[in-house]
Amino acid sequence: MATAPLLAPASLRADFPGLAGNWAYLDTAATAQKPQAVIDAVVRAMGTDYATVHRGVYARSAEMTRAYEAARQSVARFMGAASPEEVVFVRGATEGINLVAQSWGDRLQPGDRILLSELEHHSNIVPWQLLAERRGLVLDVAPLTEDGRIDEDAAIALIGPQTRLVALAHVSNVLGSVLDVKRLADAAHAEGALLLVDGCQAAPHMAIDMAALDCDFYVWSGHKLYGPTGIGVLWARGSILASMPPWQGGGAMIETVSFERTTYAPPPQRFEAGTPHITGAIGLAAAIDYVESVGLSAIRGHEATLLRAAREALGRINSVRLFGPENSAGILSFAVDGVHPHDVGTILDEAGVAIRAGHHCAQPLMAQLGVPATARASFGLYNDMQDVERLADGIARVTRIFGVK
């Protein structure tokens, strides 16, 4: 029997206007609902507090600049970064990875190698494929263990003298499996390679500390941490950022411009061309405040309890196949024999249960699992045991409708 959740979701749910009504929202891995505190912060930033940043000499612009840079400081503290100057605001993890590929990646030479894994999101595959085509690189792919983890031993064995970058997910968006980042960082560094970590599914579920993880790049998206869309983070070591050329040109990323020569601002401004997503950054800081007020350790324990209960409930249905390790980080992918995941999702939706159905932007992983798609339930701090029961009841209804047991 699963233990009771550590949080009190009933009181937390009241903070999320998007959860009004009898709705079991189990798609937080795709995007998290927003607490009222985040909505209020964005509304103030767009309304009574609004002005541009880094440009105006009037008082409100100065105040908005302070708020924007305070958001960067909040992110740096949240991540255990050595300095706010190591934090680059981007649209999301996808843009962060593309920034690294197009800026840092320009130094790579034909025959250099990049190591990925079979469970990566398309955003951590396609940018490296594009770079490999441009620069004549070789992509290596680490296999998975039987329970759906990156095979760390096999991955380490693939890191060699020509490996320049290892790019792996901290937590799989399909299987919820968790990578030992420090172990892979040590292995990469031993061969002179760098480690980039896709932290989209880790940041909302566990504490992340750049000093402890010892990676070189870390990316994540604000909307998965109960923040706004269109804002995300690329963290990189200061010495690495300082060595990287701009990847976009325009205002704010320059020191001086003439038709003869342009000089560029130091990081992070060098990588933030144009007017930034001011309100998004401020909303992200509010989301961090909210998550920290609840407590990441409490959130992880709560979600782990719900996950155990969901695995137990669905595991009792013979026609349901569960994917991923038992101790995944808040994510449960599954398939019902003879039923397409889209049909599963549609029937659950009729009962007010929202899940994701599809390939989850991880088609190579689907091929490895031997399925075209999966259904995925993912938990957040606002979910409770009633959501788990409604999921199980909905799957039981699916089996009755399709005549499977």
Confidence check: pLDDT of 6 > 80: no
Give the model's confidence band at 7: pLDDT under 50 very low, under 70 low, under 90 confident, else very high. Answer: confident
Give the torsion sign (CA, 239, 272, 281, 31). Answer: negative
Confidence check: pLDDT of 31 > 50: yes
Tell me whether residue 142 is in a domain. Answer: yes
151 and 299, same domain (yes or no): no
Tell me whether residue 1 is in a domain. Answer: no
Q: Which of 361, 366, 371, 396 is catalytic?
A: 361
Catalytic site includes residue 215 = no
Q: What pLDDT is attached to residue 5?
A: 63
Tell me whether residue 3 is in a domain. Answer: no
CATH number at residue 360: 3.90.1150.10
CATH number at residue 135: 3.40.640.10
Give the model's confidence band at 33: pLDDT under 50 very low, under 70 low, under 90 confident, else very high. Answer: very high
Confidence check: pLDDT of 386 > 90: yes
What whole-number distance in Å separates Cα of residue 141 and Cα of residue 154? 10
173 and 276, same domain (yes or no): yes
Q: Pick the last residue of a domain from 237, 268, 292.
A: 292
104 and 130, same domain (yes or no): yes
Q: Pick the last residue of a domain from 229, 262, 292.
A: 292
Tokens 């579920």 belong to residue: 205
Confidence check: pLDDT of 18 > 90: yes
pLDDT digits (tens, 9 = 90+) for 205-250: 999 999 999 999 999 999 999 999 999 999 999 999 999 999 999 9
Reported pTM: 0.97
177 and 299, same domain (yes or no): no
End-to-end CA distance of the chain: 23
Q: Residues with Cβ < 8 Å from 255, sequence gap 6 or more? A: 263, 264, 265
235 and 310, same domain (yes or no): no
Confidence check: pLDDT of 312 > 80: yes
Q: Burial letters for 29-45: b for 16+ Cβ neighbours within 10 Å, e otherwise?
A: bbebbbbebbbebbebb
269 and 387, same domain (yes or no): no
Confidence check: pLDDT of 314 > 90: yes
166 and 253, same domain (yes or no): yes
14 and 59, same domain (yes or no): no
Confidence check: pLDDT of 4 > 60: no
Cβ-based neighbour number of residue 261 at 10 Å: 7
pLDDT digits (tens, 9 = 90+) for 89-119: 999 999 999 999 999 999 999 999 999 999 9
Q: Burial letters for 116-140: b for 16+ Cβ neighbours within 10 Å, e otherwise?
A: bbbbbbebbbbbbeebbeebebeeb
262 and 182, same domain (yes or no): yes
Confidence check: pLDDT of 2 > 80: no
Q: What pLDDT is attached to residue 1?
A: 42
98 and 212, same domain (yes or no): yes
Q: Tell me what the mean pLDDT of segment 365-392 comes to.
A: 97
Q: What pLDDT is attached to residue 135?
A: 98
Q: What pLDDT is attached to residue 405?
A: 76
Confidence check: pLDDT of 75 > 70: yes
What whole-number distance in Å separates Cα of residue 262 and Cα of residue 7? 54
Write out the residue range of the structural domain in which residue 52 sits: 39-292
229 and 347, same domain (yes or no): no
197 and 236, same domain (yes or no): yes
Tell me whether residue 99 is in a domain. Answer: yes
What whole-number distance in Å separates Cα of residue 403 and Cα of residue 245? 59
Tell me whether residue 160 is in a domain. Answer: yes
Q: Pick the last residue of a domain from 276, 292, 308.
A: 292
* Average pLDDT value over all residues in the chain: 96
Q: Residue 149: CA atoms inside 13 Å, Cβ hemisphere, count?
A: 15
How many domains does the chain divide into?
Answer: 2
Tell me whether residue 18 is in a domain. Answer: yes
Q: Tell me what the mean pLDDT of segment 285-303 comes to.
A: 97
Q: What pLDDT is attached to residue 3?
A: 59
Under 8 Å between Cβ of 174 and 324:
yes
